[in-house]
């Protein structure tokens, strides 16, 4: 990545780019048509629930420095162009939402310039995303603090105030990354799937920021305070981290890898470089875990063209009696994006 971002309320330059480095490709390519057939109910077992988990990269719907965003249903329309029948979605669907949420902003972190970006998304765009089927949403990233001052709340509190309302209307949704009090993280939710309830623990955290910057946004520096919640192996544990430069991305990889090795998470997801990195399966004594350190971009009209993106598709089983999870299959969907227009380029087998 070639980005210089702000820490705290300090202003610096953020350059959103599409391609920076080449990444290892995924493995053998297969057809997408049989994916959900393999996730069909297992009639021979009343104890195991099979469910699908998907994950998409940096997303949002905003044009830079728009102080009063107008709702136009842009994200929903763009997703329907990408996948009219929603075949890429499953039971549990994660997305990294890389903007602040609100209807107006009095002061952005920077003035408009060719090299600075500040994103504010109308809350109805996020509600549309939920209506499409995204039910695990990460909100902690370098754009969470884009709006410094608003009557709706300053910084992450503006997003949080809308998240409160969305949560009350959607109890089956896990939104993480912004909070009023730190004890509100991580999010524990019981997700309804086709075959039954899947309990999850989910956190979205930013790899960067100072204590003041992270007062109302979950950051890696205060991740230790919530680690205890990730020791509950009876829940599917998902941690999504967002980096902002090479150093913080190296830390992102280290944190996710360590937490997998310590049996703290089942799925580790990274964002930040705006280009895909290899999806890896990590074998542990507790079973196979997923490490996806960068999915690249997805639908976002202000991101530059990037052909090398990936979405994760995986199939899991949850034994209701033993309260254990097992990874059955993992695949990557190759995606090419140019701002808000993305195209499915086929599926590759990972596991």
**pLDDT tens string 206-260:** 999 888 889 999 999 999 999 999 999 999 999 999 999 999 999 999 999 999 9
- Give the whole-number percent of the chain exceeding pLDDT 70: 87
Look at residue 81 and tell me if it is in a domain: yes
Look at residue 133 and tell me if it is in a domain: yes
pLDDT exceeds 80 at position 8:
no
pLDDT exceeds 80 at position 178:
yes
Look at residue 284 and tell me if it is in a domain: yes
pLDDT at 332: 99
pLDDT at 47: 83
What are the tens digits of pLDDT across the range 19-56? 333 333 333 333 433 444 444 555 444 589 999 999 99
C-alpha 196: how far from its chain's center?
Answer: 23
pLDDT exceeds 70 at position 10:
no
- Give the whole-number percent of the chain exceeding pLDDT 90: 83
Computed over every residue of the chain, the mean pLDDT equals: 90
- Stated pTM of the model: 0.87
**What span, in angstroms and rounded, lies between the C-alpha atoms of 187 and 27?**
33
pLDDT at 338: 98
pLDDT at 182: 85
pLDDT exceeds 80 at position 4:
no
What are the tens digits of pLDDT across the range 292-317? 999 999 999 999 999 999 999 999 99
Average pLDDT over residues 117-144: 98
Look at residue 125 and tell me if it is in a domain: yes
Look at residue 43 and tell me if it is in a domain: no
Look at residue 122 and tell me if it is in a domain: yes
What are the tens digits of pLDDT across the range 62-109? 999 999 999 999 999 999 999 999 999 999 999 999 999 999 999 999
Look at residue 234 and tell me if it is in a domain: yes
Residue 126 belongs to domain spanning: 51-349
**What span, in angstroms and rounded, lies between the C-alpha atoms of 349 and 333?**
9
Average pLDDT over residues 181-203: 96
Look at residue 148 and tell me if it is in a domain: yes
pLDDT exceeds 80 at position 126:
yes
What's the structural domain count of the chain?
1
Q: What CATH number did the domain enclosing 67 receive?
A: 3.60.21
- Residue 342 half-sphere exposure toward CB, CA atoms < 13 A: 34
pLDDT at 46: 59
**What span, in angstroms and rounded, lies between the C-alpha atoms of 164 and 183?**
15
pLDDT at 148: 96
């Amino acid at each position: 990545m070639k980005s210089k971002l702000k820490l705290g309320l300090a202003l610096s330059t953020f350059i959103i780019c599409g391609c920076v480095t080449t990444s290892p490709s995924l493995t053998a390519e297969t057809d997408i048509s049989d994916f959900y057939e393999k996730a069909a109910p297992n009639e021979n077992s009343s104890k195991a629930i099979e469910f699908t988990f998907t994950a998409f990269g940096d997303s949002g719907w905003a044009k830079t420095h728009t102080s009063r965003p107008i709702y136009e249903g842009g994200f929903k329309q763009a997703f329907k162009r990408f996948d009219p029948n929603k075949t890429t979605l499953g039971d549990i669907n994660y997305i990294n939402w890389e903007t602040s949420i609100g209807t107006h902003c009095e002061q952005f972190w920077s003035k408009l310039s060719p090299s600075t970006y500040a994103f504010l998304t109308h809350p109805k765009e996020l509600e549309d995303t939920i209506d499409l089927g995204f039910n695990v949403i990460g909100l902690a990233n370098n754009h969470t603090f884009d709006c410094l001052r608003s009557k709706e709340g300053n910084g992450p509190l503006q997003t949080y105030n809308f998240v409160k309302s969305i949560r009350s209307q959607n109890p089956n949704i896990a939104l993480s990354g912004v909070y009023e009090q730190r004890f509100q993280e991580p999010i524990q939710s019981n997700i309804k799937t086709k075959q039954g309830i899947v309990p999850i623990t989910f956190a979205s955290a930013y790899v960067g920021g100072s204590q003041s910057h992270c007062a109302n946004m979950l950051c890696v520096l205060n991740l230790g305070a919530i680690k205890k919640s990730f020791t509950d192996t009876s829940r599917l544990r998902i941690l999504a981290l967002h980096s902002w430069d090479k150093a913080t991305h190296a830390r992102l990889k280290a944190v996710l890898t360590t937490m997998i090795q310590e049996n703290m998470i089942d799925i580790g997801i990274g964002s930040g470089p705006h280009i895909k990195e290899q999806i890896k399966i990590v074998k542990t004594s507790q079973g196979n875990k997923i490490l996806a350190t960068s999915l690249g971009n997805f639908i976002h009209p202000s991101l530059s063209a990037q052909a090398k993106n990936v979405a994760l598709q995986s199939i899991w089983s949850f034994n209701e009696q033993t309260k254990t999870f097992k990874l059955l299959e993992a695949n990557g969907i190759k995606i090419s994006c140019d701002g808000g227009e993305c195209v499915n380029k086929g599926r590759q087998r990972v596991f």
